[in-house]
Chain A
């Protein structure tokens, strides 16, 4: 119990510190001469810049389109807890269709090794630990893999700044950094990816994924960007198109709450509390 408390305390401290750090973080002096260093600096800065959000709650709709454009819709709710440098925790709970309603997955990201996962099936009322569901596995049958959804760890890639270009984002032409990243970890489905990083807001506007043969496999396009608390950018729509199969998955988010402590409870009228580690346990999964 003591140990758990200590962990909890350290987590909370880290979150607080990271929040403070990111809020006041001015861009460093970039080494624009060396594309490898420059690329890495840009991604690292973006990573720092986007952190500090503490926790979040969001409703999502996932549309899975097959090659003929036919689709099925699954709704879910996701809660997330930021643990900067240690790997975030999250729970995804399906809310529709009826036959999978209540299926919930708990994920602990582990930087540098495979994640810890638990799954709850309401029809068995059991939580099962799942091990080794690897990075390259599909997320709920969608075009996203766990590798695509996990936070991109700048230390796990070899970066290369390519060029600065203009890109259409939400009907605006904005400057973006085009950066190539080669994964250095083993469990990857990609030979490299190309990141389009917003110069003004530091979010990932687009990511192109290239399979192990170097062929363009997928493109992730994020749009309908919304800024929360004048700081944290969230895309309300993320589309992953598979160019080799013609399939795609579209995620649409709504009812975003970023940093719950900034909102008022509908029930009590008081400020909401932030989520804690206790919201991300096996027990929490069944609720």
Chain B
């Protein structure tokens, strides 16, 4: 056999294939050059982004080596800004200052005072002072550096007077504290009972006196369980990291990347001081030399900058006075074999140093926690998986060699794969988009598509080599046979990916459009570069191939007969399996438990678990109360407020009989009433100064705390709650001579009756009458807030918890690491308590509540993102499946064919997910993304199968013959693609990041099942359809006029 007849040569598909072959150099070079151009443009764009990030200010480690910014590690990208809950959270961030916390913790179980020992306090004091010098650190809260507000005797050297004393818990050097001073501080923080339990009641009585009631000394709720645990064995230093305000014209991406790098720099600085504390950092000789030389320089701005570089803890490299980049510290880590490795060297090889022994300043083992630490862990572990990509290419190459036993069969698919990846990467970067944890899967997905596209041409070429004498005719026939089905698979795969645009999450959308474009890039490369490369290989008709053909023919005939014999059983059983699996889909549980995402020995997770065991949860919980009146009632402007006061003053003055004051006219009285009503309406919305609201919040908090200590309650995952009420209660107690009975929310009884009446007094200074408004519980609260703000450090101000307009009130909680379901249950429970027991605090339609609460939290949102991704992927897959089936129906002009194609395409996806559902195995949301790739592979297989089958049927073959021929023709390619992809994705099974591991499990099982479905279910379904009917024959004939024609 040697090519087509004259009729065949005139067909469009033949002419098209011939044209592609004739112009192969030009088209291939054009496509390759375009790919290179797109890639270079993308990289250039990335270079610009990196440069603009660095132009804001230098947040590097000082080494001068900065990798291009290709990855967007910020969590914000994962939040759907259209989602109401997410919007509510960003409102919180906007309203209150957005910042993150890093926790540095340690324990002291040796000393009887625990972390209140002088040695521990000295360490805390030293670290606190050091951390305050780290760029990006806004505030530090620790056992030594926290406001200690109390009532006591103030001696200024001239007189003694009782008053409010505000100081740091430890002001003088900790080593100089007497035993009494230590006990005093322990009681202030832990309370008397806990202190007595720790050091004995007698020592507490020595300080408090024999008649003291221990119950009156409850400790400091803002510090207890947050900065120190109840038995004072563990402590945390809470470091507040600022989200930088980027001034000037910069893109959102640049600002975001800068913000992330800024936090990383702060984290480096904190770790630098911990290394020094643990004796794991040593000054290099170059640094010591630079220190001496710089200190000898005359005072100047340059010297100041050099000295700043010397002391900048976030940079381990600096440019010295001679312009040389020097390493400042050697940093050591103990490896698994007990050797100290120098890990700070720029030469990436870490060297063991047998001479090194750490000279620690304190004996403690420090643990780090907080969202920035966790975020970095995601990036570190996630990026570690990129090392599997070369391994995947290597394994695929090896398998291509084994399976094709051909140089062309190995090299050509790899060229298509690599060029497709470069083209897609270039497209992503050129549009100013960076990789994220989802789009980072793009190379794996493009590998699947590139191999699947090219392998059909290569397999056809290998298969038909024995049948053609002429190389050109062989390649033209290879193109002709595959151009249409590969185009169709490209369209259906692109539809699959593009359906993800239905999602609202930015990373999913990015994956959707980039993969849709990548799919077409792979097609263009397949149809241009593959023919060119095939033409470069010498043509030979090998006998061995003919022998293999004979074996292949025998096997395919036997298999076709077997399937046709059992077609009813196959279709029946597979339908049942599909049904059971689909039911299982309803039980699939999506989870994003961060503990389970990493291996058991991940140091960051181990630290987090330790911190949770010793100091309570690290997860954030936000309960925000918003005034329900905020939208309707607008406050008075400055002039109106002045006018109201003036009218009120005159009204009171005339009522008090002050002479010379003109009484209000009726118009003025109306004006007064109107302004007063508006003021009251607005003031009622200021829940932060409402005694009624704060009393309710106090009860609500008690109620939540009751639940928190019940082991079986959904709220048992919450370990701590705090709100501005803690401050208010403290202020109220201290203002009332430290009487514990006043440690409560303010009520109207706290304001003396004589102060409730407004009055007018003459002011000697301004020489005017002065209006004194009536005093209420609300004015008392406002004044307490002002008093607190007047003494708090900027990092402790009220504005992070209570909005300046007093209409938004923030209660913060800390929760344990737990499953998404547990978090959602806790949120539901909080809302349930509010709805059933505190209706004033939660808005329901047509009610008169004073506030409405929202429950949120960054980690909670992250978990929710996983669920949103999973839900939207499921939605997209269903939409994609329907569209693909319609496309198949149109292409083959058979609705029945379209419908039956559903079974082999649904099965591979439904079985693994349904299995997970039935057996209650939780799935990470992003892992489900791989189902789209699996769907693409399934549909590809089905289309190739249908195309070949239709041709065979159309040429007059029986169903059995047609199936046998189809298996022989495309079986090799389908099997090859399946094996290659399974092996490729299997490399990800080595991943220590569970979402990636799970993705590999799903990919491997789905692709394997797709192969089985196309070799068992598809032929059985086709046989069941009795496609030999004349009607179908006509349809097939018509359709093949486009899709390839008969041979």
Contact residues on A (Cβ < 8 Å of other chain), bracket: 35 or more
Task: Check A271 for interface membership: any CB of B closer than 8 A.
Answer: no
Contact flag A100-B782 (CB < 8 Å), given A105-B790, A129-B161, A130-B163: yes
Residue of A nearest to B266 (CB): A213
Chain B positions within 8 Å of A247 at CB level: 97, 799
Contact of A73 (CB < 8 Å), options: B137, B638, B787: B638
Stretch at the interface among A16-24, A91-99, A199-207, A222-230: A91-99
Stretch at the interface among B195-203, B241-249, B965-973: B241-249
Chain A positions within 8 Å of B247 at CB level: 243
Query: Do the beta carbons of A124 and B766 come within 8 Å of each other?
Result: no
- Give Cα A79 to B775, complex, Å: 25
Query: Do the beta carbons of A123 and B804 come within 8 Å of each other?
Result: no
Query: Do the beta carbons of A138 and B751 come within 8 Å of each other?
Result: no
Q: Which of A124-143 contact B (CB under 8 A)?
A: 124-126, 128-134, 136-141, 143
Residue of B nearest to A65 (CB): B804
Task: Check A246 for interface membership: any CB of B closer than 8 A.
Answer: yes
Some 15 contacts from A to B, beta carbons below 8 A apart, are A72-B805, A98-B679, A121-B780, A122-B775, A124-B751, A128-B164, A130-B791, A132-B167, A133-B791, A136-B794, A137-B792, A191-B133, A243-B247, A245-B97, A245-B138
Task: Check B132 for interface membership: any CB of A closer than 8 A.
Answer: yes
Q: Mark B230-264, 1 if CB is under 8 A from A, else 0.
A: 00000000000010110100000000000000000
Query: Do the beta carbons of B94 and A100 come within 8 Å of each other?
Result: no
Chain B positions within 8 Å of A214 at CB level: 133, 135, 308, 311-312
Closest Cβ of chain B to A41, distance in Å, is 15
Q: Which of B785-804 contact A (CB under 8 A)?
A: 786-787, 789-794, 797-799, 803-804
Chain A positions within 8 Å of B168 at CB level: 134
Task: Check A287 for interface membership: any CB of B closer than 8 A.
Answer: yes
Most chain A CB within a 10 A radius of its CB, from B134, B312, B790, B797: B790
Task: Check B299 for interface membership: any CB of A closer than 8 A.
Answer: yes
Query: Do the beta carbons of A265 and B767 come within 8 Å of each other?
Result: yes
Contact flag A137-B790 (CB < 8 Å), given A122-B775, A130-B166, A214-B312: yes
Query: Do the beta carbons of B805 and A70 come within 8 Å of each other?
Result: yes
Task: Check A180 for interface membership: any CB of B closer than 8 A.
Answer: yes
Contact of A102 (CB < 8 Å), options: B166, B772, B799: B772
- Give Cα A76 to B555, complex, Å: 96
Closest Cβ of chain A to B733, distance in Å, is 13
Task: Check A171 for interface membership: any CB of B closer than 8 A.
Answer: no
Task: Check A77 for interface membership: any CB of B closer than 8 A.
Answer: yes
Closest Cβ of chain A to B691, distance in Å, is 11
Contact flag A70-B804 (CB < 8 Å), given A138-B794, A213-B136, A244-B244: yes
Q: Mark B197-219, 1 if CB is under 8 A from A, else 0.
A: 00000000000000000000000
Task: Check B601 for interface membership: any CB of A closer than 8 A.
Answer: no
Chain B positions within 8 Å of A36 at CB level: 299
- Give Cα A105 to B767, complex, Å: 20
Query: Do the beta carbons of B765 and A123 come within 8 Å of each other?
Result: no
Task: Check B162 for interface membership: any CB of A closer than 8 A.
Answer: yes
- Give Cα A98 to B804, complex, Å: 15
Contact of B783 (CB < 8 Å), options: A103, A145, A189, A245: A103
Query: Do the beta carbons of B805 and A67 come within 8 Å of each other?
Result: no
Query: Do the beta carbons of B755 and A123 come within 8 Å of each other?
Result: yes
Q: Which of A256-278 contact B (CB under 8 A)?
A: 265-267
Contact of A132 (CB < 8 Å), options: B135, B166, B245: B166
Contact flag A99-B783 (CB < 8 Å), given A126-B735, A128-B735, A129-B161: yes
Query: Do the beta carbons of B775 and A123 come within 8 Å of each other?
Result: yes
Task: Check B996 for interface membership: any CB of A closer than 8 A.
Answer: no
Query: Do the beta carbons of A141 and B755 come within 8 Å of each other?
Result: no
- Give Cα A124 to B308, complex, Å: 49
Query: Do the beta carbons of B755 and A162 come within 8 Å of each other?
Result: no
Q: Mark B574-613, 1 if CB is under 8 A from A, else 0.
A: 0000000000000000000000000000000000000000
Q: Which of B764-787 contact A (CB under 8 A)?
A: 764-767, 771-773, 775-776, 778-780, 782-784, 786-787
Q: Mark A158-171, 1 if CB is under 8 A from B, else 0.
A: 00101000000000
Chain A positions within 8 Å of B751 at CB level: 123-124
Chain A positions within 8 Å of B766 at CB level: 77
- Give Cα A125 to B753, complex, Å: 12
Task: Check A150 for interface membership: any CB of B closer than 8 A.
Answer: no
Residue of A nearest to B135 (CB): A213
Query: Do the beta carbons of A162 and B164 come within 8 Å of each other?
Result: no
Chain A positions within 8 Å of B786 at CB level: 94, 100, 103, 140-141
Query: Do the beta carbons of B164 and A130 come within 8 Å of each other?
Result: yes
Query: Do the beta carbons of B245 and A141 come within 8 Å of each other?
Result: no
Task: Check A25 for interface membership: any CB of B closer than 8 A.
Answer: no
Contact flag A245-B798 (CB < 8 Å), given A72-B804, A99-B782, A180-B304: no
Closest Cβ of chain B to A89, distance in Å, is 14
Query: Do the beta carbons of B780 and A124 come within 8 Å of each other?
Result: yes
Contact flag A119-B787 (CB < 8 Å), given A130-B166, A213-B135: yes
Task: Check B508 for interface membership: any CB of A closer than 8 A.
Answer: no
Q: Which of A98-116 contact B (CB under 8 A)?
A: 98-103, 105, 116
Query: Do the beta carbons of B245 and A119 come within 8 Å of each other?
Result: no
Task: Check B641 for interface membership: any CB of A closer than 8 A.
Answer: yes
Chain A positions within 8 Å of B761 at CB level: 287
Closest 10 pairs (CB-CB, A-B): A129-B163, A141-B789, A123-B780, A99-B782, A246-B245, A133-B791, A213-B135, A132-B167, A131-B154, A123-B775
Task: Check B689 for interface membership: any CB of A closer than 8 A.
Answer: yes
Q: Mark B161-198, 1 if CB is under 8 A from A, else 0.
A: 11111111000000000000000000000000000000
Contact of B755 (CB < 8 Å), options: A67, A122, A189: A122
Known: A100-B783, A244-B138, A245-B242. 8 other contacts (CB 8 A): A35-B300, A68-B95, A96-B641, A98-B679, A121-B787, A123-B780, A131-B156, A143-B794
Task: Check B752 for interface membership: any CB of A closer than 8 A.
Answer: yes
Query: Do the beta carbons of B765 and A79 come within 8 Å of each other?
Result: yes
Contact flag A101-B773 (CB < 8 Å), given A129-B154, A141-B797: yes
Query: Do the beta carbons of B783 and A121 come within 8 Å of each other?
Result: yes
Contact of A99 (CB < 8 Å), options: B137, B689, B787: B689
Query: Do the beta carbons of B790 and A138 come within 8 Å of each other?
Result: yes
Chain B positions within 8 Å of A151 at CB level: none
Residue of A nearest to B132 (CB): A212
Residue of B nearest to A214 (CB): B308
Closest Cβ of chain A to B700, distance in Å, is 24
Closest Cβ of chain A to B176, distance in Å, is 15
Closest Cβ of chain B to A40, distance in Å, is 12
Task: Check A64 for interface membership: any CB of B closer than 8 A.
Answer: yes
Chain B positions within 8 Å of A126 at CB level: 735
Contact of B794 (CB < 8 Å), options: A118, A124, A145: A145
- Give Cα A128 to B731, complex, Å: 12
Chain A positions within 8 Å of B638 at CB level: 73
Chain A positions within 8 Å of B765 at CB level: 57, 77, 79, 279
Task: Check A184 for interface membership: any CB of B closer than 8 A.
Answer: no
Query: Do the beta carbons of A99 and B779 come within 8 Å of each other?
Result: yes
Contact flag A141-B775 (CB < 8 Å), given A67-B97, A79-B765, A287-B761: no
Query: Do the beta carbons of B245 and A244 come within 8 Å of each other?
Result: yes
Chain B positions within 8 Å of A71 at CB level: 804
Chain B positions within 8 Å of A124 at CB level: 735, 751, 780, 783
- Give Cα A139 to B167, complex, Å: 16
- Give Cα A244 to B641, complex, Å: 33
Task: Check A66 for interface membership: any CB of B closer than 8 A.
Answer: yes
Task: Check B645 for interface membership: any CB of A closer than 8 A.
Answer: yes
Residue of B nearest to A119 (CB): B787
Query: Do the beta carbons of B783 and A68 come within 8 Å of each other?
Result: no
Residue of A nearest to B782 (CB): A99
- Give Cα A260 to B615, complex, Å: 59
Chain A positions within 8 Å of B789 at CB level: 138, 140-141
Closest Cβ of chain A to B315, distance in Å, is 11
Query: Do the beta carbons of B645 and A98 come within 8 Å of each other?
Result: yes
Closest Cβ of chain B to A80, distance in Å, is 12
- Give Cα A125 to B756, complex, Å: 12
- Give Cα A267 to B641, complex, Å: 26
Chain B positions within 8 Å of A66 at CB level: 95, 799, 803-804
